[in-house]
């Protein structure tokens, strides 16, 4: 009954889905591409090779899945891998990371309409499905169960806030979770929350993001930037979200350090120009990454590029990881730690609670209560190079100590797929 009501709401909301795609395409024209795939209509069949299917909703999940994808291709010779996502940036990240591999196909996962999901599974006919993190779709899981397709939830995480939300619609969520062949949870807390909602066969496998090694080319690019900027102090604000940039620019102005360069990298590329306007409105001198290196006169360097976060971390003296000054849940700080960059976060890290708490405990990160404390801690660390070096080394040690999730997750998937 709950799924029938869910389907009715989906069908009633179909015009809004089209309007949302058109609205988003105003800033990202890529949303007008591959529209048929959104509804389960695909081109030529994928070929005779059996397929493993992995779904990663957007950029972060796609990058986290990279070591698992390589492990799956190695463990299942003779198979191809279908990588699906929901956003153009996720699709672009997949092409960047894996586009040269002829064994990897890419497509959008359709919206969760019964017919669309049936067409998707019947077209590609995967022998095994892997969903990354918290991608649970009731009609997809029902369609997979009818086709006896084992589906594993990998790198699974569930914040306290999300668990409360899912509990309100337990009649819809529980049957979908119960259909999973296995769950690879990031932490014990994630496992407990998923178990309370009905997820079966849960194993704690750790966070796959610890197994993602920074690309050597990106690290080399960051070192090139560092050499070009010389001894100029660099503060990176990484993966910032709407509403945070104003706070961060105010911190920059109050610090009153003319030599300090703020590298500002918004989380979503469609916001690049809006953030640039914010910088100019404050009278700050702005340079764009896409136009080259900043000059000595520039105060803000806008990171309007994709796939270069490791380079930014290698350049920076310290980094603030965004989504955390406002109640947005935070962003992944593991990459910063692996690059040896000292990390600062705000108080709102519930989407990455375990990793954030562990990084703070390891001395790799410091958590601040608000923008005022961020200003204080930034000033302190900019004047304490030895402290920054110690935090950077603690970050490398922290990242290295938590590796191994890929092997554990692969073993779970292999067992479920037999």
Catalytic residues: 61
Helix (H), strand (E) at residue 269: none
Q: In DSSP terms, which residues pair with 81 in a beta bridge?
A: 52, 104
Helix (H), strand (E) at residue 357: helix 353-362
Which pair of structure tokens corresponds to residue 387? 């402290």
For the stretch 193-200, contacts whose Cβ atoms lie closer than 8 Å and that sit 24 or more positions apart, written own/partner, are 193/158, 193/160, 193/163, 194/153, 194/156, 194/158, 196/163, 196/167, 197/158, 197/163, 197/166, 197/167, 197/170, 197/173, 198/170, 198/173, 198/174, 199/153, 199/156
DSSP class per residue in 150-176: -EEEEEE---HHHHHHHHHTHHHHHHH
Contact 358, 398 (CB under 8 A): yes
3 state DSSP class of 325: coil
How far is residue 109 from each of residues 27, 43, 104, 379, measured CA to CA in Å? 21, 14, 15, 46
Within 10 A of 313 (CB to CB), how many other CB atoms are there? 29
CA 281 to chain centre: 30
**What is the spatial distance between Cα 128 and Cα 413, in angstroms, rounded to a whole number?**
9
Residues 6+ apart with CB under 8 A from 98: 66, 69, 83, 104
Contact 289, 302 (CB under 8 A): yes
Question: Which phi and psi (to 5°) does residue 256 adopt?
Answer: 55, 55
Helices (H), 240-308: 244-255, 272-281
DSSP 8-state symbol, 215: P
């Amino acid at each position: 009954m709950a799924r029938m009501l869910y389907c009715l709401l989906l069908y009633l909301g179909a015009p809004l889905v089209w309007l949302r795609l058109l609205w988003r395409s105003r800033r990202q024209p890529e949303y007008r591409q591959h529209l048929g795939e959104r509804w389960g209509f695909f081109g030529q069949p994928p070929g005779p090779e059996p397929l493993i299917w992995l779904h990663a909703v957007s950029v972060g999940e796609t990058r986290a899945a990279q070591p698992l994808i390589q492990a799956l291709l190695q463990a299942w010779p003779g198979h191809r891998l279908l990588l699906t996502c929901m956003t153009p940036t996720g699709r672009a990240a997949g092409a960047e990371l894996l586009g040269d591999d002829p064994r990897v196909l890419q497509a959008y996962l359709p919206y969760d309409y019964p017919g669309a999901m049936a067409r998707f599974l019947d077209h590609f006919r995967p022998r095994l499905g892997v969903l990354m993190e918290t991608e649970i779709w009731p009609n997809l899981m029902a369609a997979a169960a009818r086709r006896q397709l084992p589906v594993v939830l990998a790198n699974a995480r569930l914040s306290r806030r999300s668990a409360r939300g899912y509990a309100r619609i337990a009649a819809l969520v529980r049957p979908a979770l119960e259909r999973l062949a296995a769950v690879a949870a990031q932490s014990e807390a994630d496992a407990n929350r998923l178990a309370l909602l009905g997820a079966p066969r849960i194993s704690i496998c750790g966070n796959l993001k610890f197994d993602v090694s920074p690309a050597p080319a990106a690290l080399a690019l960051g070192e090139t930037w560092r050499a070009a900027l010389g001894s100029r102090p660099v503060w990176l604000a990484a993966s910032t979200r709407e509403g945070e940039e104003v706070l961060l620019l105010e911190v920059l102005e109050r610090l009153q350090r003319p030599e300090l360069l703020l590298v500002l990298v918004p989380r979503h590329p469609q916001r690049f120009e809006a953030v640039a306007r914010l910088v100019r409105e404050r009278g700050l001198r702005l340079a764009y990454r896409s136009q080259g290196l900043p000059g000595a006169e520039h105060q803000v360097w806008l990171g309007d590029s994709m796939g270069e976060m490791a380079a930014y971390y290698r350049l920076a003296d310290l980094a603030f990881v965004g989504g955390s000054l406002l109640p947005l849940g935070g962003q992944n700080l593991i990459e910063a730690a692996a690059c040896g960059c000292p990390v600062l976060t705000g108080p709102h890290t519930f989407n990455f609670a375990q990793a954030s708490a562990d990084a703070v405990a390891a001395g790799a990160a410091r958590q601040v209560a608000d923008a005022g404390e961020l200003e204080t801690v930034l000033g302190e660390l900019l004047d304490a190079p030895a402290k920054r070096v110690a935090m950077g080394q603690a970050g490398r040690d922290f990242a290295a100590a938590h590796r191994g999730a890929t092997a554990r997750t692969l073993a779970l998937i292999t067992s479920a797929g037999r």
